[in-house]
Chains A and B, each alone.
Chain A
Amino acid sequence: EVKLVESGGGLVQPGRSLKLSCAASGFSFNDYWMGWVRQAPGKGLEWIGEINQDSSTINYTPSLKDKFTISRDNAQNTLYLQMSKLGSEDTAIYYCARPRQYWGQGVMVTVSS
């Protein structure tokens, strides 16, 4: 069974950084592109970016490219999202996904003082 479990969310002050993790299991992690999607409260889905199998190609939505960094550790079957300079507009549920078929349950990030 494919499982994607996000962690690392919580309350963070504006301007600070936060790193999310996504633990993958039930499939050969290093064979697949992986990605992140977020959803602000009561809003639609926003695609953040995707990383290929060996991390040689990473695509971001342009507006987040300078703030967010996606990485992966194939030995640990883990996907990461490093977020910096966080603002209130980054308050959202962050989903890890194996595009397009599998999604994690999401982790909440709240940016507030």
Chain B
Amino acid sequence: DIQMTQSPASLSASLGETVTIECLASEDIYSNLAWYQQKPGKSPQLLIYDASSLQDGVPSRFSGSESGTQYSLEINSLQSEDAATYFCQQHHDYPRTFGGGTKLELK
């Protein structure tokens, strides 16, 4: 199975700041990576697919990038509504696997 190591597990940031969340794949996943946002009591919402493509309707302050097997989600100009848990998921191979999640708290 492909392991997705997500970091950090949690972070706290202020409004207007920029944060970066990372996922390290245990092998090459050829950009087949998605990022999701999940708010308490809600289902996950797709933010980014294919590592860097922004899902329709998602604010442009969200962006995805990659470097080798390291994938990053950057959130610019943090807004209060960005407080949530973020997950990565590889969709290169089966079983599809998720990162452990990053809980983002706004100060």
A-side residues, CB < 8 A to B, are: 35, 37, 44-47, 49-50, 59-62, 95, 99-101, 103-106
**B68 shortest CB reach to chain A, Å:** 22
**How many pairs, one residue from A and one from B, have CB atoms within 8 Å of each other in the complex?**
49
Secondary structure dominating the interface of A: strand
Flag if B94 contacts A59 (CB, 8 Å).
Answer: yes
Q: Which of A61, A95, A101 contacts B46 (CB 8 A)?
A: A101
Flag if A45 contacts B43 (CB, 8 Å).
Answer: no
Chain B interface category by residue count: 20 to 34
**B88 shortest CB reach to chain A, Å:** 10
Flag if A104 contacts B43 (CB, 8 Å).
Answer: yes
Flag if A45 contacts B94 (CB, 8 Å).
Answer: no
Let me know if B23 is at the binding interface, CB within 8 A. no
Flag if A95 contacts B94 (CB, 8 Å).
Answer: no
Flag if A47 contacts B95 (CB, 8 Å).
Answer: yes
**Nearest B residue to A47 by beta-carbon distance?**
B96
Flag if A47 contacts B34 (CB, 8 Å).
Answer: no
